[in-house]
Structure 1
């Protein structure tokens, strides 16, 4: 039967053309069969003479032949033109109902069913793209929310620490006016950071959309601000903090909030693995500012050296109470936004080392 249908080349024809072709073939076959039935009836009449049962039998046989021909034509039309594409569409619909779009359907036919399946496949492909786009958008929003939640902790910790310091020592007049003003200045800077975070949360759709806002700052004031944040983070983990510099005091143009986010993520990552001490080294040369954060911990594993800057990489560390897996990825992304780069390595004496570089205009 399949060979017969292939011989008719029905896949090359439209549904109407196939239906007409099958009608013609069926009609020819029925005419041949009915002619043979008339011949048989004539032979019976000649053999048995005029009897009452020959003519009714002939009529009944012709009617059965016509009915069988119509049913056969319908079955052939269904099997050759409708069965396979309907099965494909049913299976595809079940997959879509199960939220599974990772499939494809095709049907080798030039008729309307082939066009319908091709249109269905285009719809599935476009739907898959739309779902992936929506999923990426949702994931990016989740990632941004996680990053903001992570980065808000440090300014809140600094504000909390400075507020406790003022509340403890200011009534006893154990703080000089200069120290009080310095604490207030630091608190104001971190309050401004919180305001910027709030505004960014309402406008930013992607990490790449974080705006760059360069400011002119002197290096001593800037690194002092960074060291204050690092000390707060290190003290919370009971880690000793040490910093050193390799530059003369200069005026630089950078985005302090972007660099502060990078720096605090690097410091938080370092204190997580440090055994007892965290080191920060500042260097400015050839229009680039470099900040290296190193620790005396076990260092990066071979896998971590390759994957530590990937989003949500956690290595063997897991603590459900802390947000992890985004720090170094964010550092890398923001360094590149600042025309720099992020490098991770193991120190010569052990321990991990992360170096962030940023392009900056230096005015001596």
Structure 2
């Protein structure tokens, strides 16, 4: 994987982004503070406390004037001259302000919203002045036409904050877009491995840490490619061995069939004829199994189904007869039972026969002499369950998960017979193609191995 000449560390990129945010904050803060200071110090503006300061400056003059001189009251304020008996001697306030001025004169508390009051004691009573603490323009015409200076200062602060948020948004978006672009080679490499494209070579990233990950992923890709190639070679070798074995079996099998056919031409008694017929029929079964084995070796796990309505009881009787023939010479007792079977079910009779017989043969191989092989078929609603329980050791934990895989031979607890890991695989493939299921378990009471086949039934329960 080619690397860019100068990839940057992600910490440097994040630090650059953080510096951008801090710098932009400082710039907008300085601009806002400068505008704010310009508003306060400009000759066009009157500070908010101007009227209050003027009142303090005029306090002594208003207090000493005899009689009361309204011209001494600073511009921007209103007055009320209240006598010692509470009577209003002179005022330019409206009724609401006058009521507040009297209350202030009595209590001395400024609790009137944005209106403030100031009292000056006199010989004839008290002079109460009302004023506002707010900035204004020196030119009264501007006060009438423009927003107040306070509003202008708030607008400056809000504008600076909005601009800073915009810079943060645009900076974050650019930072996110850059990270996304730098992550693209990493995502492409991940998708290629997920899709098993092991020839894909990821392009470089501009971030040093991402390049390290890409380099590790490239090493993993090469190791995975080598491992899969080795696995494919081993699989191909197994398939070739199975295909060759199946082909070699055909020759002695043809001889057995041919000789059994010749024997039928001799004068045989009833028992001899039955044995010869049994040899011939099972030779044909082995021949069919050999054909299926060759198909499996060529990865043809999908069988050509010829579905038909299969009478359930007749099918199980046929299975029973074949099972009896298989266990007859092994001193194994066969227990057979049926319960609530439906009238019929749909499937390929030949393939299902092979599937069930594979399980029975497997169970018989692991059942010791004198043991019992149990075969039970029962209906449960629309489902037919065929349960085969052998008399041997149960499945190991590994076998319960993997025994139906092709070429699985890892169950040390059930290694009494030589096998090639194909029986359960073939059976599982046939059952799944019929829409059924194959379940491996151990009998909870005896610990013996048990296989349950479930198929969809049709028709009425007998």
What is the TM-score with the length of structure 2 in the denominator? 0.41
Greater per-residue strand proportion: 2
Greater per-residue helix proportion: 1
Query: In terms of Rg, which structure is larger?
Result: 2
What is the TM-score with the length of structure 1 in the denominator? 0.50
